[in-house]
Amino acid sequence: MLELLRRLWEVENLSPHGICLLWRPELIWTHVVSDSLIAFAYFSIPVGLAYFVSRRRDVVFGWMFWSFAVFITACGATHLMAIWTLWVPDYGLEAAVKLLTGLASIGTAVALWVLMPKALTLPSPTQLRQANEALEARIAERDAALAALEAANAERARAEEALRQSQKMEAIGQLTGGVAHDFNNLLNVVLLNLDRVERGLSPDSPLRRRLDDAVKGAERAATMTHKLLAFARRQPLSPVSTDVNAQIASFAEFVRGTIGPRIRLETDFAPDLPRVNIDPNQLENALLNLAVNARDAMPEGGTLTLATRPLPEGDGLAVEVSDTGTGMGPEIEARAFEPFFTTKPLGQGTGLGLSQVFGFAQQSGGSAAFVRRERPGTTVRLAFPAQAPAGRGPIAARPAPASTAPASGPGFVAPLRPPVPVAS
């Protein structure tokens, strides 16, 4: 064995294979250049493979790249030995290099065929693209479902908030109506006794002036009670078939005189509106309350707009009172219709103006609400159902709650003078 190895590395009795090409140097250098280029390429390829695998550790079957790197490096070494043996007859070393190259090539080939079934199971770029598209579609469906769920939750929250607000307003209305009804009874006693005292006094009595002050205070209390009953939907109404456009047009001059010269009054009436069954005097009173509120919200001047709009499907009409004032936030809007709620300084508002408007609209079978617009200011919309054909009541009229008693009767005291609107 040792003798075989010694003879394998023995070069004394051998000649380099380039000796037969000494008279053809162009062939020698052709072999040198070509083998050099091949060896350079073979050595650079494993470096690229090693760099790729080291940077992409997520590559599946990365060890196969290392096997190819070893195999290709050995192939490059055989080409270097081909150049070397042109001048040095180290054929034993060349045989050893080729043996190692053969072992590396056989090992790589076997590993490649063993790996082939597993490699074929890997998804192709087309399959990966299709899988990504399917995944993106499912993600889009999930996002759409989440958006729909959020929208449904938001809508439910708004509905629950509206229900709570309606229940709160209904409870406040019932409490307010009961208190106002009982207070009317007390005012009835007070006014009747003051009337008796007044009849018993002589015209020049010094007590007559004080008695007049007491009567005025009782009348103001009666006016406030009237507003509370309006909010509680228990005030007596005299609804008649009304052309709202004509009613507001005739009332506009009075509103213009109330709001003053610094505020411009504009009207915008929709044509061909249906007639409605409402109390025209209470409608004017509600519009006046809203106009006074708008005037107070525009201390530097602005524009007040009285507009009418048809409701969808001809179910009625809406009256909108808009201003260009400071507006109000959502928290203020949520409580603006509550009785005695006001943002004005003490002594400048009773907080009953908007509550009276709300109660009048509700008692007339309609509604009152704030409308949010892009422009600054506040818009209050009063919606009323259309007048039904003969023999039928107003469309979508809302009956008064069964728990409330009628406003008229022995316990009701009407104001002795026309009520002066009190802005909230």
pLDDT by 10s per residue, the chain, length 424: 666 666 666 666 777 777 777 778 888 888 889 989 999 998 998 888 888 888 888 777 878 888 888 989 999 999 998 888 888 888 888 888 888 998 988 988 888 888 888 888 878 788 888 999 999 999 999 999 999 999 999 998 888 877 776 676 667 666 666 666 666 667 777 777 877 777 777 777 777 777 777 877 777 777 666 666 555 555 666 788 999 999 999 888 888 888 888 899 999 999 989 899 988 888 888 888 888 888 888 888 899 999 999 988 778 899 999 998 888 877 777 777 776 667 665 555 555 667 778 878 888 888 888 888 777 888 999 999 987 655 444 444 333 333 333 333 333 333 333 333 333 4
In three-state form (DSSP H/G/I as H, E/B as E, the rest C), the secondary structure along 147-184 is HHHHHHHHHHHHHHHHHHHHHHHHHHHHHHHHHHHHHH
Around 144, how many Cα atoms within 13 Å sit in the side-chain half-sphere?
A: 6
**Residue 106: HSE in the Cβ half-sphere, 13 Å Cα cutoff:** 6
Torsion of CA 290, 296, 299, 301, to 10 degrees: 10
Nearest to 234 by CA among 181, 287, 283, 166: 181
- Which pLDDT score, from 0 to 100, does residue 36 have? 92
Tell me, which fold does domain 185-385 have in CATH?
A: Heat Shock Protein 90 (3.30.565)
C-alpha span between 351 and 336 (Å, rounded): 8
Phi, psi torsion values for 224, nearest 5 degrees: -65, -40
The secondary structure of 317-374 as a DSSP string is EEEEEEE-S----HHHHHHTTSTT---SPTTS--S-HHHHHHHHHHHTT-EEEEE--S
pLDDT reported for residue 423: 37
Beta strand extents in 167-262 (DSSP E only): 240-242
User: Strand pairing of 263-268 and 302-310?
Assistant: parallel
SS3 418: coil
Site of tokens 């936030």: 329
Q: 302-310 and 379-385 as β-strands: parallel, antiparallel, unpaired? A: unpaired
User: Within 13 Å, how many C-alpha atoms sit on residue 133's CB side?
Assistant: 6
Single pTM value for the model: 0.44
pLDDT, residue 9, reads: 67
Domain boundaries, the chain: 2-120, 185-385
Per the CB < 8 A criterion, the answer to whether 269 and 308 are in contact is: yes
